[in-house]
Structure 1
Amino acid sequence: MSLLNETLEKIQPLNEEIMKKSKVRVDDLLKPVGSLGVLEEIAVQLSGISDEMFPDVSKKAMLVFCGDHGVFEEGVAAAPQEVTDLMAQMVVAGKSGVAVLCKQAGADVFVCDVGMISEIDPKSKILDKKIRKGTSNMRKGPAMTRDEAIASLEAGIDVAGRAIKNGYNILGTGEVGISNTTPSAAIFSAFSGVDPGELVGAGANLSEEKMVNKAQVIRDAITLNKPDKNDAIDVLAKVGGFEIGAMAGAMLAGASYKVPVLIDGFISTAAAAIAIALKPEVKGYLICSHASAERGAAFGSEFIGAKPFLNMGMRLGEGSGAAIAFNIVEAALYMNREMATYSDVGLGVV
């Protein structure tokens, strides 16, 4: 049996029994019921994920997957493709947005190449899971083969699984890849039937004129490749990206090990759409960090039924929003574990 199938079979629904117990405790905390809002929801969700009232989420790992895209040649990105490699190096060096935000949150960052066009220096700290040097141009044919799509998912499963076995108990999903808002919009368009013009955004500061082109490129790719919305692997293969598949795999792995996984922005949400389509139960293990300012992000969150709890106008990607959210998730745990209850002080719930 393949690693993907083994992982899918291991994923179970959240533990409803302990969630009910956790909800009773959260409601009994020394505060008006519901007055700590999303923190209360996260605390209950963490219990259901882990089978524990007070799970440990102190050992944090941000998994940043990197890949390039053949569709770049269609003029869908403002930045040169070499920026993918540059930013991967900056993440490793601790100098990128996600790197410094993870440092503040006490999270370790792991960078993995699943499809950059550049060669990795053997001395680099970048993990080498390269499937090939960039996807194919989806406007001219499938972005990847079905086997490559599965390989991208399994790369993410492997990297996340190793992190969890090394003691990490909460994961964030990030990415680096010039042009990757294009396959992300294409994935949502393929799944939903929504016109790409409603989903494409500026990415790395793309002009309005080029956004019109970007939408048409996606329309052409979907018309040519005919991705099957009922087959998530087909959607990933036809119009996806290697780093998107890897993030989806990391989400599946987290669910299979009962470890929470933070969704970042638009691209990470597209990966979540793939993961949820493969195994609907995975949704319960995902925590949606922030409302990305990237056009299409609000639709993406709504499509997967996620409720971002941070809204700061961010659209950097890389995992930057998820990095900030590590702090919020840990705060929810502290709230549930450390606060006194009405029962402790001999009063009824207010």
Structure 2
Amino acid sequence: MSLLKQTIASILPPDNEAAWAADARLDSLTKPPGSLGYLEELVRRYAAIRHDESVKSGRGAIAVFVADHGVADEGVSAFPQAVTAEMLRNIAGGGAAISVLARRFGYALKVVDVGVKVDTSAKPLAGVTYRRIAAGTRNILDGPAMTPEQTTRALEAGIEIARELADGGATLIGIGEMGIANSTPAAALLCALTGIAPESIVGRGTGLDDAGVRRKTEVVARALEIHRAALTSGDSMLAALGGFEIAAMAGACLGGAASKVPVVVDGFIATAAAAVAAKIHPGIFDHLFFSHRSAEGGHARALDHFKLRPILDLDLRLGEGTGAALAMNVIESALDLLHNMATFAGAGVSGKVR
């Protein structure tokens, strides 16, 4: 059995009894019942995903998957493709926004090259993990972005990274990405998965002007028409429209669920990956937290379509896992409240009058 099939087969539903135990603990704390609002739901869901009635928390980790896209040739990004390799170096070197946040919160940062056009693996960059599938995907207007074999390899690369982080003690895994032009395949995937028109999904990405957005929207519409016959399963959608880093993030969602570790999804592009993972394994959303409502394109519409509640709304549209890191800190704060607040009995505080 392949790693992908083995992983999917090993995913268990969340544990309701663990959620009930966490709820009982929350109700014993020195506060009115439910007064911590959505923080309490975060605790219950964390316990259920972890299958842990004691709701132990451990270390957080961020995985940033980096790759290039052939569709960049269509002028769908305001930045040149060379920026992908430059940002790979910057993230690993500590200079990117996600690097700062990972240091700030004490999260392990895993930077994974799954298909950057410029291959630096001959002289490996410090801080980069190499799981290269190819030197970027094919242009989705010229054919499928990936072969079926490449799609599986990218999914399994994400599974392996999630498993490695879980084995290393991570109890929360955030996923993010970097790749010039990757908001185009992400938009195409979200259109295919939701049925929402490209005009309502496509955004400015790294800063396109109005003409650039129109061009990008046309590219997405053409890609959806070209690959209409392939838009049936998660795997075939990924192969037709996706990218190595998008597939790897989808794999990380599956791998985290199999390891009973919640995965915290970043913004627009990571949401496309998570939605594909849900197409591959329905029910995967129950194992994920969605970190924020991005200002990019139709991210809010996609979240509404899937009935997903993000933790934050900060008008972020950077990617890299920045929103995931911030939301992980919120989840950890909720867990700290669970474990460190006094109970009514312990503090000698009178409970609610019945």
1:99 maps to amino acid: S
Structure 2 partner of 1:78: 78
| SS of corresponding position for 1:169 | strand
1:41 maps to amino acid: E
Pairing 1:155–2:177 present: no
| SS of corresponding position for 1:114 | strand
Judge which range, 23-32 or 152-161, deviates more.
Answer: 23-32
Q: Is contact 2:58–2:169 with CA below 8 Å preserved after alignment? A: no
Q: Is contact 1:181–1:203 with CA below 8 Å preserved after alignment? A: yes
1:246 maps to amino acid: A
Pairing 1:123–2:124 present: yes
Deviations 1:182-221 (A, max 9, x none): 0111001111221111101111001111111111101111
Q: Distance in 2 between matches of 1:297 and 1:194?
A: 11
2:115 maps to amino acid: G
TM-score (norm 2): 0.95
Deviations 1:106-158 (A, max 9, x none): 10111111111011143313111111111111112111112211111001001
| SS of corresponding position for 2:170 | coil
Pairing 1:347–2:350 present: yes
Structure 1 partner of 2:35: 35
Structure 1 partner of 2:12: 12
Deviations 1:269-317 (A, max 9, x none): 0111011111123212211111111111112222333211211111100
Percentage of identical aligned residues: 40
Structure 1 partner of 2:298: 296
| SS of corresponding position for 2:145 | coil
2:160 maps to amino acid: D
How much does 1:98 deviate? 0.6
Alignment partner for residue 331 of structure 1, among 330, 333, 337? 333
| SS of corresponding position for 1:134 | coil
Q: Is contact 2:22–2:55 with CA below 8 Å preserved after alignment? A: no
How much does 1:341 deviate? 2.6
Q: Distance in 2 between matches of 1:275 and 1:123?
A: 30
How much does 1:229 deviate? 4.3
How much does 1:25 deviate? 2.2
Q: Distance in 1 between matches of 2:231 and 2:20?
A: 35
Q: 1:248 to 1:25 in 2, by over 3 A?
A: same
Structure 2 partner of 1:176: 178
What are structure 2's unaligned runs of at least 5 residues? none
Q: 1:20 to 1:228 in 2, by over 3 A?
A: farther
1:262 maps to amino acid: V
| SS of corresponding position for 1:60 | strand
Deviations 1:24-59 (A, max 9, x none): 222332212222112111111111011223434331
1:1-350 equivalence runs, <5 A: 1-121=1-121, 122-124=123-125, 125-226=127-228, 228-344=230-346, 345=348, 347-349=350-352
Q: Is contact 2:157–2:251 with CA below 8 Å preserved after alignment? A: yes
Q: Distance in 2 between matches of 1:258 and 1:22?
A: 16
Number of corresponding residues: 350
Judge which range, 275-284 or 340-349, deviates more.
Answer: 340-349
Q: Is contact 2:264–2:289 with CA below 8 Å preserved after alignment? A: yes
Q: Is contact 2:184–2:202 with CA below 8 Å preserved after alignment? A: yes
Q: Is contact 2:17–2:53 with CA below 8 Å preserved after alignment? A: no
Q: Distance in 2 between matches of 1:236 and 1:158?
A: 18
Q: Distance in 1 between matches of 2:170 and 2:229?
A: 35
Q: Distance in 2 between matches of 1:69 and 1:177?
A: 7
Displaced runs of 4+ in structure 1, greater than 6 A? none
1:347 maps to amino acid: S
Q: Distance in 2 between matches of 1:227 and 1:6?
A: 27
Q: Distance in 2 between matches of 1:313 and 1:66?
A: 23
Q: Distance in 1 between matches of 2:352 and 2:263?
A: 32
Q: Distance in 1 between matches of 2:180 and 2:222?
A: 20
| SS of corresponding position for 1:280 | coil
Q: Distance in 1 between matches of 2:131 and 2:214?
A: 34
What are structure 1's unaligned runs of at least 5 residues? none
Q: Distance in 2 between matches of 1:168 and 1:8?
A: 20
Judge which range, 229-238 or 255-264, deviates more.
Answer: 229-238
1:283 maps to amino acid: F
Deviations 1:159-195 (A, max 9, x none): 1111211222211101010001101110011112211
